Amino acid sequence: VTTPLVERLVVVGLGLIGGSFAKGLRARGVCREVVGVDLDPQARRMAVKLGVVDRCEERLAAACEGADVIMLAVPILAMERVLGELARLDLGDAVLTDAGSAKGNVVRAADAAFGGVPARFVPGHPIAGSEQSGVEAANGELFKRHKVILTPLPQTDAVALQRVDQLWRELGADVEHMQVEHHDQVLAATSHLPHLLAFGLVDSLAKRNENLEIFRYAAGGFRDFTRIAGSDPVMWHDIFLANREAVLRTLDVFRDDLDALRDAVDAGDGHHLLGVFTRARVAREHFS
């Protein structure tokens, strides 16, 4: 019998991400005990019933007693409150990490709560998910072959970082380290902007078409492009409030390019259109 890597893992927020993290590590025997915390009693009951955690606590203080690793997987806008509560507890030398989709705001919240970002806080973001949410959707294989970005700060403790890194690797994830600002800019461009466009396009068409009749003619391209408009509206509203500056930068650049495309259509500038479409196709082939 191998010794577990972690004696007691605490997962705060038993939704898709927290539930999947807990379930995957528990299934692999990486932790001696996995304790869940959630505001929602139904989520706590389901988490135990589905074998996502060993036990649940309603209160953070009771759950975090004797914890080695604490994973925060609550909605981004709830991070500030949870970090504030954690700062009032004696966490011993527990490693603290999170899974929030934007990093700058979580790091700022940790800074404010603890009066300086603790060395044992390792900010992180798994680039995996689905259109589903809640503990029922928890899947221990969700992170397999997906990237997880950790955004350590200069003061981050090397042992804490290695611990969090190792837990994600146990789940089959491909872990990378990046600076906080770089993470937020990259994600604004590759994830947040596309979600804004998909939500925006579907809404723009829907609100002008009573009975949503127009979508009967939607072909594969429209379906592919707008799949992500089926994502959780509350989570995405959180992300745009949390990553405002980086989103605005990438949105303004894109808006200039969209204006240029509009001008090309208006002017019948086939050269411009062909240039954009050809470059895009080459780029797309590069990553697909």
Q: Which helix (H) or strand (E) holds 9?
A: strand 6-12
Q: Which helix (H) or strand (E) holds 175?
A: strand 174-177
Of the candidates 119, 38, 113, 108, the one whose C-alpha atom is nearest the C-alpha of residue 71 is: 38
Of the candidates 219, 25, 270, 15, the one whose C-alpha atom is nearest the C-alpha of residue 134 is: 15
Pattern of binders to ligand NAD over 225-254, x per CB under 6 A?
----------x-------------------
Q: Which stretch binds ligand NAD (CB under 6 A): 87-95, 97-105, 200-208, 266-274?
A: 97-105
Report the residue number, 4 or 77, with the smaller CB distance to ligand NAD. 77
- 59 close to 84: Cβ distance less than 8 angstroms: no
For ligand NAD, the nearest residue by Cβ is 15
User: Which residues sit opposite 10 in a β-bridge?
Assistant: 35, 70
**Alpha carbon distance 223, 214 (integer Å):** 13
Q: Coil, strand or helix: which one is 70?
A: strand
Tell me if 87 contacts ligand NAD by CB under 6 A: no
Q: Rounded to the nearest whole angstrom, what is the least distance from the CB of residue 13 to ligand NAD in the complex?
A: 3
Tell me if 164 contacts ligand NAD by CB under 6 A: no
Q: Rounded to the nearest whole angstrom, what is the least distance from the CB of residue 239 to ligand NAD in the complex?
A: 6
Report the residue number, 131 or 259, with the smaller CB distance to ligand NAD. 131
Tell me if 104 contacts ligand NAD by CB under 6 A: no
Tell me if 84 contacts ligand NAD by CB under 6 A: no
Q: Which two tokens stand for residue 218?
A: 């939607």
Tell me if 18 contacts ligand NAD by CB under 6 A: yes
156 residue type, one letter: T
Tell me if 126 contacts ligand NAD by CB under 6 A: yes
Q: Which two tokens stand for residue 9?
A: 């893992």
Choosing from 34, 35, 43, 164, the residue that interacts with ligand NAD (CB under 6 A) is: 43
Tell me if 78 contacts ligand NAD by CB under 6 A: yes
Q: Coil, strand or helix: which one is 96?
A: strand
**Alpha carbon distance 212, 88 (integer Å):** 51
Q: Which two tokens stand for residue 106?
A: 């979580």
Tell me if 142 contacts ligand NAD by CB under 6 A: no
Choosing from 133, 228, 237, 240, the residue that interacts with ligand NAD (CB under 6 A) is: 133
Which residues form the interface with ligand NAD (CB under 6 A)? 12-18, 37-40, 43, 73-76, 78, 81-82, 99-101, 125-126, 129, 133-134, 235
